[in-house]
Amino acid sequence: HARQIVEQNKECLIQISKFKFSLVISGLTKILQRVNESRTHGPDYVKNYYESLLIVLDTLEKCLSGQPKDTTRFDEAMNVKLLLREICQFIDLPNENPMVNQLKALASKDLFALSLNNFNAVFSRISSRLQELSSSNEENPDLSDIELIQHINVDTIRLIKLL
């Protein structure tokens, strides 16, 4: 019964996002932040933690995929930057269990959906990291932002822009 309620809530959020995209994305981003910051313990904590993240990331992917094409206001651009930061945390998680693999797969889908209508925000993160790396002498630089390229919607024109 609880699964059914979760699915109904997800569908409601997806429908609302078609009209109040920025509000829904902002709320889901805050939920991701809160779940990530929660540090409670108990026998079911790990399972509940991952399930919560999976629900939010799945809902985000569906909202982002249905994003109205003409919505790129300033508040949405800020929400996209915050969301991008949250999603990127899940891309580099170590493969310690099957739920982590699901989490990484959903985060990848979210990045792809995010890049469809908000490519410039994702591009900006990648290109700023490329610039940092080109002037850095670090022996073991953090390449995670560069690895975002494999998760985003890149056509020939966008690839040329990146290079």
Kindly report, residue by residue over 65-80, the tens digit of the pLDDT.
Answer: 887 665 556 666 778 8
Give the model's pLDDT for residue 115.
84
Longest CA–CA separation in the chain, Å: 55
Residue 162: inside a domain = no
The tokens for 70 are 């003409």
Give the model's pLDDT for residue 77.
72
The residue segments making up the domain with residue 72 are 2-118
- CA–CA separation, 133 and 115 (whole Å): 22
Give the closest residue to 130 by CA, choosing from 146, 115, 144: 146
**121-to-34, 73, 79, 116, 152 alpha-carbon distances in Å:** 23, 13, 10, 11, 11
The tokens for 109 are 């889908």
Residue 141: inside a domain = no
The tokens for 44 are 């079911």
Count of domains for the chain: 1
Low-confidence ranges of the chain (pLDDT < 70): 39, 68-76, 141-146, 149, 156, 158-163
Residue 133: inside a domain = no
Q: Identity (one letter) of the amino acid at 159? A: L
Give the model's pLDDT for residue 144.
63
3-state secondary structure of 57: helix
Q: Identity (one letter) of the amino acid at 163? A: L
Query: Would you put residue 140 in left (φ > 0), alpha (ψ -120 to 50) or beta?
Result: beta
Residue 143: inside a domain = no
Residue 30: inside a domain = yes
CB-based burial of residue 84 (10 Å sphere; 0-12 exposed, 13-18 middle, 19+ buried)?
buried
Residue 55: inside a domain = yes
Residue 148: inside a domain = no
Residue 152: inside a domain = no
